[in-house]
Structures are given as C-alpha cells and as structure tokens.
Amino acid sequence: MLRSVPSPAEEQRPKRSFPELVAAIYEDPRVGHETRELLLAVAYAVDLAKREDGVSPLKVARRKLGVEHGRQARYDRLVADDAPRYKPPREAADWHPSAAPACEGPRLRPYRPRAYKPRTQPTPPDVSVLRDEAIPRRLPAPILHVPVGYTPPRDWRTEDGVCGAPSHHRVLEKDPRTGWITAHWFCKRHKDHADRVAEQVREQNEQAPEPVPNTGGLLPCYFKADWEKVYRHYLPRWQPPKYGICADDWPAVDEMMARPSRHSRLRVIVGTGLEDA
C-alpha cells in the first residue's frame, strides 16, 4: 500500500497530515515545478485512499495528471523523469562539436582587438534630406541603459589567455570523489593538448567511483512503495544506483567536493601547455 513517509525527525511523532505534506513538498528546494505537480497528485491520491477503500493511489494520480500530446499520460513521463540517476552536463553529453564550448587551450598569439568600423549606408535617391547650412546639427550622445552595479563582461581572451576557437576534440574528466564528469574542449590546432589531457586523466577516470545521482529520487522521499519496480516499468533500461533510490540517502556532494583530492586538477599554462596544478 502506498503511504507517505515521515521525516527522520518525525519518526516518533504522528504521521503528517495532508496539509503538512503539501507544505513540505512546496518548501523542498530540490523539487521542480513538474516534479512538484507529480508529488502533489500522489499526495492527493494517498489522502483519498485513506478516506475511500479500494482506491489505487497510483491510478488516481495517473488519471488526475491527464494526457499530454494526445497519446501519453503525463504521469508516465514524470515518473520516468524522477528515476534516480546521474545526469551529466550538456557539454559532456553526446553533443556535436559545433555546439561545444570554445577551445580552452593556450593562445598561440596575443589577442589584439580590432577597432570597430561602422558601416555607412547611402541614402536612397527617393528619400528627401532636410539640410540647413545655417544651423549645424549634431547627433545626440548615445545613452546606455544598464542596471545599477553593472560591470562589463570580462574578456577571457586577454585575461585568461585561452584560445577561444571553435572546438573539435573533447576530453572527459571524472572527479575522483563524486564521479561527476567535466568536459574539456580543444580545437584542431590544440590536438596535442587534447592528447596530453586524455593521457593525464586516463588513470583517474578508471579509478573514479560510480557518479553520485543528481536527478530524481524524490518520490521515495515522501511515499513508501516498491519504487524500484515502478521506475523499471516506466523506464525499462534504468538501473538503480548503488547509493540508493531515495535522494535523502545520497551523500552530500558539497561535503565531498570540500575534501582534498588525491588527483590534481588541470590547468592551462601559457607557453608550457598543461601540467599539474
């Protein structure tokens, strides 16, 4: 039977009422707008099942969420999206190099900004121009509207000394503490840097742990059920992570990142390439 899950501090207290459960869902910073809709629908179905016998909470939630695109029930997609897993950043996913970030290799020559030359368009012959030689006319000074405290963006080409050309080669680096992936991109002229970085992180990637999940796992935080079976039904290729399917049981990534790592991070050194920091 599907039922709500009390928090660890509430294990010895009475179970949360429906308004308290709704308030906890709204105050949870991990819950997005679509996941919140799913959790509220399930919470309503659980509360309805307490008052009416023979009611299946999951069927009620599926019916209340309706159908999208005229074919698939929204409940099916939202449950599949809540399957706990690690979702890498988009630049580390299977993206085409044309949509990749700029090359992070060192610049091969100093960057010298070129002066802007405004283009002048001739006035069409059928447009009359009013001229008064006695009264000189001057264009008003341009007005730039910016918010208070605005600072212009930093020029990474001059301050960081990186290449910035369109990328072509990608090297993935796995964090030795969390297993999370960072993508390093290089252009065709910096292929030797890409090969050097790939060799440098090869052993580190082989020893990296399974990535800590960063997506999903919120349904088990609020409701008790055989969620592993439910996730497999709506996402057949899904495999449960070793850290558990409940997001409350996952290790705190911020604390893991604060620990010193045995492996060095990558750094671009202009003139000497990449070496340990």
Q: What is the pLDDT of residues 35-71, one digit of tens each?
A: 999 999 999 998 888 877 777 888 888 888 888 776 7
Write the pLDDT tens digit of every residue in 195-215: 999 999 999 999 999 999 999
Encoded tokens for 152:
């212009």
Nearest Cα neighbor of 190 from 118, 63, 103, 252 is 103
CA distance 110 to 125: 45
Percentage of the chain modeled with pLDDT above 70:
72
The pLDDT of residue 250 is above 90: yes
Q: Which residue did the predictor score with more confidence, 47 or 124?
A: 47
The strand ranges marked E within the chain are: 3-4, 67-68, 72-73, 169-174, 181-186, 223-224, 266-269, 273-276
Q: Residue 12 above 60 pLDDT?
A: no
Computed over every residue of the chain, the mean pLDDT equals 80
Q: Is the pTM of this model over 0.85?
A: no
Residue 10 has what pLDDT?
42
8-state DSSP, 75: H
Which string of b and e fits 249-264 if b means at least 16 CB within 10 Å? ebeeeeebeeeeeebe
Across 7-16, 101-110, 253-262, 266-275, which has the greatest mean pLDDT?
A: 101-110
Burial track 157-178 (b if 16+ CB lie within 10 A, e otherwise): beeebbbbbebbbbbebbbebb
Q: Is the predicted pLDDT of residue 183 greater than 80, yes or no?
A: yes
How far is Cα 24 from Cα 29, in angstroms, rounded to an integer?
10
Tell me: pLDDT of 1 over 70.
no
Higher pLDDT, 173 or 268: 173
Three-state secondary structure call for residue 260:
coil
CA distance 36 to 26: 7
pLDDT (0 to 100) of residue 80: 94
| Whether the predicted pLDDT of 245 surpasses 90 | yes
Residue with tokens 């809709």: 37
Residue 96 one-letter amino acid: H
% of the chain exceeding 90 in pLDDT: 41
Instruction: Report the pLDDT averaged over residues 147-155.
Output: 71
Q: CA distances (Å), 174 to each of 6, 13, 212, in order?
A: 35, 42, 12
pLDDT at 268: 41
Confidence class of residue 113 from pLDDT cuts 50, 70 and 90? low
pLDDT digits (tens, 9 = 90+) for 85-108: 999 988 887 777 667 788 888 887
Integer Cα distance of 173 and 220 in angstroms: 31
What is the average pLDDT across 23-30?
A: 94
Interatomic CA distance for residues 161 and 147, integer angstroms: 29
Looking at the predicted structure, is the pLDDT value of residue 173 above 60? yes
Please give the residue that has the higher pLDDT: either 51 or 81. Answer: 81
Contact between residue 207 and residue 251 where contact means Cβ atoms under 8 Å apart: no
Q: What is the pLDDT of residue 100?
A: 79
Residue 164's pLDDT is what? 82
Instruction: Identify whether the C-beta of residue 230 lies closer than 8 Å to the C-beta of residue 38.
Output: no
pLDDT at 121 over 80: no
pLDDT at residue 56 in the model: 82
